[in-house]
């Protein structure tokens, strides 16, 4: 984001209520297109929407499919108008009622992962009752709760033709996230190549492979990620190209596609010096800001003080016009010692009322935090593109009602048209 161009545009008109997430759709598309160019001709791209569901409509302009892992994610896709044929229903939990709903409404559109023998039975039985055949991917485990061992997968692939409601298109594989070294990708694809060779030797036709790459994002200033760089992405392409098996490959990405477009804005509410340490207290915290691998701010993320000409509109401006550079310990608003966003970071211009912008927060940060801890508000979410300008995707929302014994009564009252207290806070 060049000099926070769009934040300047917004703050010229009105204050951004903090904390808030801002997602730059143009920046997201730019990186996703780069990934697509690196893989063109060798693999398609599937976006794991768990990384950031707010991006799915824009992401679908670039990727070929979406990985959906819960009924809630599926409902988001429904309301966003994502075609069912573009959805891969994944995840270790599959409810028969949810599957029945999808088949009632969308027939045999979409692809489903099989994570267990029970999944296989649920999908087959439900499909038979609906008189359709479902396209499935059988997941091979990488030594965790996802998928099944090789022998079980091969047995399912052999018997799939006997199941009237199932068509086994291929296999799915995922072994984790933040794989920084290209050798991990190369090793895993070599393993999958051997497995697919074994399947061929047993006269099993596997047409598709969906590979959850777990491509890493370099979140911190002193850290790198080979797989994130263009050379690493081309190395992934070469690894796919080098497979003896020549079926259709889809590379599943989430974090890598979404991370760089995200910005978390939080306002400085207090500063103090204690035992020689300069503390900065912000209105956000670790319940809203989540960097994979970060523990109590021990690494330095990419963070800036919003330029004074921007933040002055929301700040109580100090009399000191040339605020000195200091090393700060940036802490959130939670009553826990773990709420440290930066243990040591040197910043200039930081004072009460200024806004800190944490970069590279487009993936998971907004989705993984302890949202209900201490009943703080959910931050607002704002999308930006050059073409459409600002889109307010979510206003700030109170959470305290979700932590009350009287929650059900509150909901009933609301249905009857009686609101109890402030529910949301919008832009001014």
> Class of 261-397 per CATH?
mainly beta
pLDDT (mean) for 304-318: 55
Q: Is 220 exposed, middle or buried (0-12, 13-18, 19+ CB in 10 A)?
A: middle
Q: Quote the tokens at residue 364.
A: 């998971």
Instruction: Find tokens 């509150």 and name the residue.
Output: 410
pLDDT in tens, 216-235: 999 999 899 999 999 999 99
Residue 150: pLDDT over 60: yes
Q: How far apart are CA 31 and CA 230, in angstroms?
A: 10
For helices 117-130 and 150-159, give the axis angle rounded to 10 degrees. 20
Q: How far apart are CA 240 and CA 360, in angstroms?
A: 28
Residue 317: pLDDT over 90: no
pLDDT in tens, 8-62: 555 554 467 899 999 999 999 999 999 999 988 889 999 999 999 999 999 999 9
Q: How far apart are CA 24 and CA 133, in angstroms?
A: 40
Banded model confidence at residue 319, pLDDT cuts 50, 70, 90: very low
Q: Give me the chain's average pLDDT, please.
A: 88
Q: Cβ neighbours of residue 217 under 8 Å, at least 6 residues apart?
A: 178, 225, 228, 255, 256, 259, 260, 292, 360, 363
- Confidence (pLDDT) at 133: 97
pTM: predicted TM-score of the whole model, two decimal places: 0.89
pLDDT (mean) for 410-421: 57
- Confidence (pLDDT) at 309: 53
Q: Quote the tokens at residue 135.
A: 């396209």
Q: Quote the tokens at residue 363.
A: 């993936």
Going 272 to 277 to 281 to 282, the CA torsion angle's sign is positive
Beta strands in 85-186 (DSSP E): 87-89, 111-114, 134-140, 166-174
pLDDT in tens, 160-177: 989 999 999 999 999 999
118-127, 244-253, 399-408: the lowest-pLDDT one: 399-408
- Confidence (pLDDT) at 143: 93
Query: CATH 2.40.37.10: which residues of the chain?
Result: 261-397
Query: Phi then psi for 9, rounded to 5 degrees?
Result: -60, -45
Buried b / exposed e over 20-38, threshold 16 CB at 10 Å, is bbbbbbebbbebbeebbeb
| CATH code of domain 25-259 | 3.20.20.10
Query: CATH 3.20.20.10: which residues of the chain?
Result: 25-259
Write the DSSP string, 168-223.
EEEEEEE--S-B-SHHHHHHHHHHHHHHHHHHHHTT----EEEEE--B----BTT-
Selected residue with higher pLDDT from 59 and 366? 59
Banded model confidence at residue 368, pLDDT cuts 50, 70, 90: confident
Residue 314 · residue 306 · CB < 8 Å:
no
- Confidence (pLDDT) at 106: 96
């Amino acid at each position: 984001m060049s000099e926070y161009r769009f934040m300047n545009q917004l703050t010229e008109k009105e204050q951004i209520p903090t904390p808030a997430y801002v997602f730059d759709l143009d920046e997201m598309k730019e990186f996703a297109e780069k990934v697509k160019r690196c893989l063109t001709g060798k693999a398609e791209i599937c976006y794991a929407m768990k990384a950031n569901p707010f991006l799915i409509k824009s992401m679908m302009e670039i990727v070929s499919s979406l990985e959906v892992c819960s009924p809630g994610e599926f409902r988001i896709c429904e309301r966003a108008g994502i075609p069912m044929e573009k959805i891969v229903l994944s995840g270790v939990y599959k409810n028969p009622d949810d599957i029945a709903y999808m088949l009632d409404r969308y027939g045999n559109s979409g692809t489903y992962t099989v994570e267990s023998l029970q999944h296989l039975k649920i999908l087959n039985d439900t499909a038979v009752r609906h008189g359709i055949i479902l396209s499935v991917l059988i997941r091979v485990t990488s030594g965790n709760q996802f998928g099944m061992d090789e022998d079980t997968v091969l047995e399912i692939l052999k018997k799939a033709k006997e199941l009237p409601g199932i068509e086994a298109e291929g296999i799915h594989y995922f072994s984790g996230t933040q794989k920084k070294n290209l050798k991990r990708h190369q090793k895993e694809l070599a393993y999958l190549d051997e497995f697919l060779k074994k399947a061929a030797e047993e006269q099993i036709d596997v047409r598709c492979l969906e590979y959850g790459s777990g491509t890493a994002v370099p979140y911190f200033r002193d850290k790198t990620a080979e797989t994130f760089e263009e050379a690493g992405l081309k190395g992934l392409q070469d690894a796919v190209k080098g497979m003896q098996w020549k079926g259709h490959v889809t590379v599943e990405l989430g974090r890598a596609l979404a991370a760089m477009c995200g910005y978390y804005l939080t306002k400085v509410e207090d500063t103090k010096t204690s035992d020689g340490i300069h503390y900065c207290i912000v209105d956000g915290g670790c319940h809203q800001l989540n960097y994979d691998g970060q523990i109590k701010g021990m690494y330095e993320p990419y963070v800036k003080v919003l330029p004074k000409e921007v933040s002055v509109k929301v700040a109580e401006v100090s009399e000191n016009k040339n605020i000195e550079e200091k090393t700060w310990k940036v802490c959130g608003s939670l009553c826990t010692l773990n709420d440290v966003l930066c243990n040591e970071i040197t910043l200039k211009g930081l004072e009460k009322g200024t806004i800190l912008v944490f970069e590279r927060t487009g993936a998971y940060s907004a989705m993984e935090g302890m949202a209900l801890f201490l009943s703080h508000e959910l931050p607002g979410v704002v999308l930006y593109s050059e073409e459409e300008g600002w889109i307010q995707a979510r206003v700030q929302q109170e959470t305290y009602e979700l932590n009350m014994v009287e929650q059900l009564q509150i909901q009933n009252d609301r249905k009857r048209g009686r609101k109890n207290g402030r529910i949301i806070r919008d832009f001014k």
